[in-house]
Structure 1
Amino acid sequence: MHDGFGFGVSGGFMWLFWIGLIILIIWAVKATASGKSTPSERHKSAIEILKERYANGEIDREEFEQKRKDLTS
């Protein structure tokens, strides 16, 4: 006879099903969210990095031109 608490054999499997489903949903959301990459996360070329360093003032024009020449030859 069913007592309404769901502690029987079928009730136990039902709890396992719902817990498993919740874990699966959480895993899927995390996997989808971590798969997205922003442009700043993608691999940058050496020229792009060099341009950023020049724009940020880390290197001067002379050093920029020399390194650009080295990279393009």
Structure 2
Amino acid sequence: MYGWNDGMGLWGYVLVSIIMVVAWGASNAGIGLLARSLRAPSPGATQPPSPRTAEDVLAERFARSGIDVAEYQNRLAVLRGRPGT
């Protein structure tokens, strides 16, 4: 029975090769899309906090009484590009 109809022939092997490439590609794409969807954050997820600015750090020092009002205002003016005001 093995030699029945002379096997698949050249076009049969070409067709099977194309089908295998498409099947493996679809399988890999499906696994990749599944992994991406599991890794992506949900729409309601909170964003990480933004980095603190120099003005934020200065305001925290003033709030903790690390500096007085005059020093706070002078440093804030320097940060905003208006030294000596």
User: Normalised by the size of structure 1, how large is the TM-score?
Assistant: 0.42
Greater C-alpha radius of gyration: 2
Q: Which has the higher contact order (CA 8 A, sep 6+)?
A: 1
